[in-house]
Amino acid sequence: MSAAVLGFIVALVVLALLGVFVASIFVRRHGESDRPQPDWRPTDEVFSDPSTNRLMRVWLDPAGERHYVAEGRRRAP
């Protein structure tokens, strides 16, 4: 394998990893929503997300699926 081909493959892998990293910044975590939908019901379940330090409330949609919505304030450290 020539040095040019090897360099191209390395550059391609680096660009792919960089793309995955950048995309992960803008993608929400599993089940997390920006705001509840009108047909969702809030539950009494509230927890502190340890990775973001945000208070999250669990909401249920009509199908019983769980969604996590930030309560709008951070937990004190």
Is the pLDDT reported for residue 14 higher than 70? yes
pLDDT of residue 38: 95
Q: What DSSP string runs through the chain?
A: --HHHHHHHHHHHHHHHHHHHHHHHHSPPTTEESS--TT-EEEEEEEEETTTTEEEEEEE-TT--EEEEEEEEEPP-
pLDDT of residue 26: 56
pTM: 0.57
Question: What would you measure as the largest C-alpha separation in the chain, in angstroms?
Answer: 62
Is the pLDDT reported for residue 18 higher than 90? no
**Average pLDDT score over residue span 1-11:** 85
Domain boundaries, given as residue ranges, for the chain: 1-29, 31-77
Residue among 35, 31, 28, 24 at smallest CA distance from 72: 35
Which tens digit of pLDDT belongs to each residue from 27-74? 555 667 788 999 999 999 999 988 788 899 999 999 999 999 998 765
Give the C-alpha separation, 22 to 30, whole Å: 17
